[in-house]
Structure formats: C-alpha cells, structure tokens
C-alpha cells in the first residue's frame, strides 16, 4: 500500500477563486485546520505577489508545525528570494517554482523560445536550491505541452537539483487516459527522473479533475495537489476530500492511501466554506448536505435493513456524525474556548470575550445551540478590526404593506465618528443598502444576495451572504443574526469593508510596481 502525499493549495490556488479574499487571521485558521487534517504540504500563498501575502506566508511558516510550508514562485530571482525570506521560520520549507512550457504559452505569454525556457528553468531551480533543500518545479500548462519537450524539462529540473516535479493539467484539458500516459512517458524517457517525486495537479474545467488525479495515482505519482471543496480559479481544482475517500473506499483498486485524518474532513470543509464565502453545493460528493441523505422510499427501506445497501461511506468516517447540542447557556468561557478550538478557531483576549458574549446572548434566544450556530457567530470577527473602515452602530427599519420601506442607519468611522443617514427603497433590504451607500459613498454593484437558515426552527440564525463589485474588485460579505435585516446590513457592510481593504492592497501593489520600474530606469 503506497502512501500518497497531499499538497494542499487552498490558501494559494483556492484563494484565487473570483471574489475570495482571506484576511491573515482567516488564513491562519485554515492553516491550523489543515495541519489537524494531516496534509503533508501547505502552499501558504505567493509571497512575492503582495505585502499581505508575504506576511501571511511568513506567519504560517513561523507558527504551523508538523507540516511542510510552501510558497509559490515564478522562475525569477526576486520571487525566489522573497519566498526564502518568508519561509525562513518554517520547520520544513519548500519553494514551488513554475514556468510555462506549452507552445501557446511560450509563444504568446512568455515570448520565449523553448531553449530560453530550458535555460531559465535551469537557472531558477539552481538558485532555489541554494536557499531550499526542497524544491518543487512545475511546467505550467504541461497538459498542452509537447511530450518530448516535457522530458527535456524534467531532465533539466532534475539535474539542477529539484526534488519534486509537478506536472499540472493547468486548464483541465486532458482525459484520464491522456494524463496517465503523460506521467508514464516522462518516467520512461527522462534521465534522472528517479531523483524526482512526481506530483499531479488537476483543474476541473471539464469535470475530470478527480478522475485525472486518480489516473495519475494509478500511473505511479507520489503526490497529489488540490484544495478543500475543490475551490480555485475558473471551475476549481481537484477536491482533496474526493481523492482521499476514493483511495480509502477502493484500496484494492489503487493500492494507495493518504495519511489524512479523514474524521477532520467535514470540519475542514465547513471552515473553508464559511471563511471563503463559497457555498458547498448540496449534492457535492463527500461533504455536501445531501451526500448522506436518502429520500427515496426504496433507499430508506434498504438503509433501515442494512446501511451498506446504499451507503459506501459512513458519515462518521468524514466527521459528519450528527451532534445536535454541544454547548448551552450554563457553559463557561474555558469550555467555550476549547470547543471553538476544536472547530478550527483560536481566540484570545477581547476577541474571545466578544464571541463568548454573543454566544451567551444567542443561548438566551435559542433553545438549542449547535456547532453551525457557533461557527456562524465566529464570522463576525474574521476581519481584522484595525482594518475595518465602518462599523454598524444602530439601525431602524420601518416597513409594511401600506408604507414606504425606510431605513435609518448609524455607522462608526474612526476618523469621523458617528455617521447617520436615512433612505427609502423598494423593500427593507434595499432601503438599508441605500442608506449605507449614502454614508460610505462607495459606488458598488450588488452582484449576489443570499439568505439561508443556519439551523432549523423558528429561532434559527439567518445567514446572509452578499457579493459586491467596484470596477475590477469583487468582494464577499457575510453576517449572521436572528434578525435577518440586521444580518443583511452587516453582510453588506462586511463586503464594503473587504472591498476597501482589497482596493488599498491593489493600490499599494501598483505603487510598488511603478517604483520598481523607476528604480530600474534610474
């Protein structure tokens, strides 16, 4: 039975999902949970891409133990040196260097000849090896690269000192048979390939990411790369949980397994979904709400007689055992702290006190408080308070079948103090959002508004998710409350705050880019 290493790129490739922007604290929460899950490598980000990404990679490298921490890097000196600076404190640092190798990328994006690409790969891997004992190289768009050229790439990378060769299907183009053949061909023809650990990285543009990854495992790869819930650019990456459970469920077929703690899968999935704002579809394999639901009478009859008639995976295996009541109004702060730690959060000081007070308030309103309720409360404290531009102080809404919906909103600004505005709208939520727009003076387009019940019952928390756009910037917001209008206001304000943070980060990045150009010309 081979052990397949798991390279998790939720915090790098996954964060590139449109509209997703994680704060440093959110990245830390996910990184801690990934360590509990037992992934072998955490790709913490792209250190050279921005100051914020550098700091997040650095903090994860300094604090997370028992797992290799990695940074992505282009095949250029500055990126490699930035990655080294960020990863100095890692217990097991790794750099992930990439350069495109397909004809279409070399011609139109890089504007380089194949010979120049090979030279740059050699130089970049050699430089990376001076800083890192563990160097992974990826020929971007390998799925559309020429096989014989990939063989040359593998040989150059191996000779230059790479330890891992990742062969990605960057655009999700290949079929399982083609992807498996690619690995077999490179393994059979590349000199020095025995020095390299082979890795598979699949995207899901044609819905084949899981099938392709399993085909690569059958072809002998040692590592698979993916994300939790399959999030990522375009149609996303392969879902790690799908591959792990396929191997665990069909050991006789693949003769391979991961070292993941499968009981942590559901918890990890929920955390990533909550923090990224990307809802897991109900029929999603392994972690969807309907993954272990049976409605058909025939299925229900079979399940009552013998669960294995329709259930090839037990929900307990992935940590989906039903726990209806976890904590209550008599629970203390210490027990609450330990419980949220088990959910993937570590809070101290005033942040812990704030969430605990919210929890106590909720206990007075709800008869039963579940993990989902508690996770939803934690969402209120995901954005660094020092970066929040506006905070909701109060709101008053008047609406009904006979009157014009009206909202009066009070927001706190650290510089200007309390700001108040009123507005009317086509409905209560529209009036609230118009009043907030007047105060913030942020011209945004509301792309998406969604409200869900966190749990069942009349006293259920309402969770609101919104997505707004300003120019090229897209930001998600979310909030929970037993009052759905309050949740709507807080979610919209959360999105605006996140948008402002992203805009400032973009402006800072552009300023640094222009300064670098000036320095070069000087």
Domain borders along the chain are 2-276, 333-381, 385-508
pLDDT of 91 strictly over 70: yes
Give the pLDDT confidence score for residue 309 in this predicted structure.
73
CB atoms under 10 Å from CB of 299, counted, come to 14
Task: Please state, in angstroms and rounded to a whole number, the distance separating the CA atoms of residues 507 and 270.
Answer: 32
User: What pairs with residue 404 in β-bridges?
Assistant: none
How many residues are there in the chain? 522
Per-residue pLDDT of 453-481, as tens digits, reads: 876 666 677 889 999 999 888 888 888 88
Give the pLDDT confidence score for residue 332 in this predicted structure.
78
**Helices vs. strands in the chain: H and E counts, helices first:** 17, 16
Range 361-369, long-range pairs (CB < 8 A, 24+ positions): 362/461, 362/482, 363/327, 363/328, 363/329, 364/329, 365/459, 365/482, 366/457, 366/459, 366/461, 366/482, 367/457, 367/459, 368/324, 368/325, 368/455, 368/457, 369/325, 369/326, 369/327, 369/328
Closest of 362, 487, 473, 475 to residue 432, by C-alpha: 487
Give the pLDDT confidence score for residue 129 in this predicted structure.
98
Give the pLDDT confidence score for residue 322 in this predicted structure.
47
| The token pair that represents 177 in the structure block | 């048979």
pLDDT of 61 strictly over 90: yes
Task: Please state, in angstroms and rounded to a whole number, the distance separating the CA atoms of residues 19 and 39.
Answer: 25
Task: Please state, in angstroms and rounded to a whole number, the distance separating the CA atoms of residues 477 and 463.
Answer: 11
pLDDT of 382 strictly over 70: no
Per-residue pLDDT of 101-139, as tens digits, reads: 999 999 999 999 999 999 999 999 999 999 999 999 999
| The token pair that represents 105 in the structure block | 């990328």
Closest of 512, 483, 502, 487 to residue 389, by C-alpha: 502
Give the pLDDT confidence score for residue 340 in this predicted structure.
81
| 39 within 8 A of 244, measured Cβ to Cβ | no
Percent of the chain clearing pLDDT 70 (strictly above):
89
Give the pLDDT confidence score for residue 304 in this predicted structure.
53
Instruction: Provide the pLDDT confidence category of residue 358 given band limits of 50, 70 and 90.
Output: confident
| 200 within 8 A of 213, measured Cβ to Cβ | yes
Look at 412 and 372; give whichever has higher pLDDT. Answer: 412
- Lowest mean pLDDT of 28-37, 343-352, 425-434, name the range: 343-352
| The token pair that represents 319 in the structure block | 């940590």
Per-residue pLDDT of 383-419, as tens digits, reads: 445 567 898 999 999 998 888 999 999 999 988 899 9
Separation of CA 88 from chain center:
24
pLDDT of 435 strictly over 50: yes
State the number of CA atoms in the 13 A half-sphere of 311 facing the CB.
Answer: 21
Give the pLDDT confidence score for residue 158 in this predicted structure.
98
Per-residue pLDDT of 295-346, as tens digits, reads: 455 554 565 566 677 678 888 888 875 433 346 777 778 878 878 877 767 7
Give CA separation, 454 vs 86, 220, 352, 418, 460, in Å: 38, 43, 22, 31, 6
Q: What integer best gives the mean pLDDT of the chain?
A: 89
Which strands make up the sheet holding 445-453, listed edge to edge? 445-453, 462-470, 473-481
| 54 within 8 A of 44, measured Cβ to Cβ | no
Report the pLDDT averaged over residues 135-161.
98
Task: Please state, in angstroms and rounded to a whole number, the distance separating the CA atoms of residues 235 and 204.
Answer: 5
Fill in the DSSP letter of residue 79. Answer: H
pLDDT of 74 strictly over 70: yes
Instruction: Give the CA angle between residues 318, 372, 204 to the nearest 5°.
Output: 50
- Give this prediction's pTM: 0.74
pLDDT of 282 strictly over 90: no
Report the pLDDT averaged over residues 26-51.
96
> Is the torsion defined by CA of 337, 340, 342, 344 positive or negative?
negative
| 382 within 8 A of 26, measured Cβ to Cβ | yes
Give the pLDDT confidence score for residue 353 in this predicted structure.
87
- Lowest mean pLDDT of 235-249, 308-322, 435-449, name the range: 308-322
Strands (E), 344-461: 391-398, 406-413, 417-424, 445-453
- 222 contact partners, CB below 8 Å, separation of at least 6: 2, 4, 5, 197, 198, 199
Give the pLDDT confidence score for residue 379 in this predicted structure.
62
Task: Please state, in angstroms and rounded to a whole number, the distance separating the CA atoms of residues 184 and 219.
Answer: 6
Query: Per CATH, is 385-508 categorized as 2.30.30.40?
Result: no
Task: Please state, in angstroms and rounded to a whole number, the distance separating the CA atoms of residues 448 and 356.
Answer: 31
User: CATH topology for 2-276?
Assistant: TIM Barrel (3.20.20)
Task: Report which listed range, 176-190, 350-364, 415-429, is most confident.
Answer: 176-190
Angle, to 10 degrees, between the axis of helix 428-440 and the axis of helix 484-521? 30
Per-residue pLDDT of 181-212, as tens digits, reads: 999 999 999 999 999 999 999 999 999 999 99
- Lowest mean pLDDT of 36-45, 92-101, 269-278, name the range: 269-278
């Amino acid at each position: 039975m081979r052990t397949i290493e798991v390279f998790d790129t939720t915090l790098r490739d996954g964060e590139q999902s449109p509209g997703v922007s994680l704060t440093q604290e959110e990245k830390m929460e996910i990184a801690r949970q990934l360590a509990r899950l037992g992934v072998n490598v955490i790709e913490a980000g792209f250190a050279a891409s921005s100051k914020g990404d550098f700091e997040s990679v650095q903090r994860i490298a300094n604090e997370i133990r028992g797992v290799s921490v990695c940074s992505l890097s282009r095949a250029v000196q500055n990126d490699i040196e930035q990655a080294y600076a960020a990863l100095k404190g890692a217990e097991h640092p790794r750099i992930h260097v990439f350069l495109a190798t397909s004809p279409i990328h070399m011609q139109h994006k890089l504007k380089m000849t194949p010979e120049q690409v090979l030279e740059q790969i050699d130089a970049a891997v050699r430089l990376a090896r001076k800083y890192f004992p563990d160097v992974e190289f990826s020929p971007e768009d390998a799925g559309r690269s020429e096989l014989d050229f990939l063989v040359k790439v593998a040989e150059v990378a191996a000779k230059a000192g790479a330890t891992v060769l990742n062969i990605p299907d960057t655009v999700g183009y290949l079929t399982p048979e083609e992807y498996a053949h690619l690995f077999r061909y490179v393994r059979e023809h590349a000199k020095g390939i025995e020095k390299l650990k082979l890795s598979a990285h699949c995207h899901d543009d044609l819905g084949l990411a899981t099938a392709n990854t399993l085909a690569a495992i059958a072809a002998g790869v040692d590592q698979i790369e993916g994300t939790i819930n399959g999030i990522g650019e375009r149609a996303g990456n392969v879902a790690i949980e799908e591959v792990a459970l396929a191997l665990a469920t069909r050991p006789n077929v693949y003769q391979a397994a991961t070292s993941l703690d499968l009981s942590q899968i559901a918890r990890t999935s929920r955390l990533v979904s909550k923090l990224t704002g990307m809802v897991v579809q109900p029929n999603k394999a392994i972690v969807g709400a309907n993954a272990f639901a049976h409605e058909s009478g025939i299925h229900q009859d079979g399940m009552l007689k013998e669960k294995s008639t329709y259930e090839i995976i037990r929900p307990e295996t992935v940590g989906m055992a039903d726990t209806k009541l976890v904590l209550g109004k008599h629970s203390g702060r210490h027990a609450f702290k330990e419980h949220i730690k088990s959910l993937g959060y570590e809070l101290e000081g005033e942040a812990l006190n704030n969430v605990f007070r919210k929890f106590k308030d909720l206990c007075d309103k709800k008869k039963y408080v579940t993990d989902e309720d508690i996770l939803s409360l934690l969402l209120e404290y995901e954005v660094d308070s020092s970066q929040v531009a506006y905070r909701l102080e109060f709101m008053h809404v008047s609406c009904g079948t006979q009157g014009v919906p009206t909202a009066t909103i009070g927001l706190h600004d650290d510089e200007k103090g309390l700001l108040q505005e009123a507005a009317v709208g086509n409905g209560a939520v529209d009036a609230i959002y118009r009043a907030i727009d007047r105060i913030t003076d942020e011209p945004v387009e509301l792309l998406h508004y969604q409200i869900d019940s966190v749990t069942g019952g009349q006293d259920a928390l309402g969770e609101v998710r919104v997505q707004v756009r300003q120019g090229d910037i897209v930001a998600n917001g979310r909030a929970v409350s037993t009052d759905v209008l309050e949740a709507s206001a807080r979610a919209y304000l959360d999105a605006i705050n996140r948008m402002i943070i992203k805009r400032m980060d973009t402006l800072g990045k552009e300023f640094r880019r222009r300064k670098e150009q000036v320095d070069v010309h000087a």
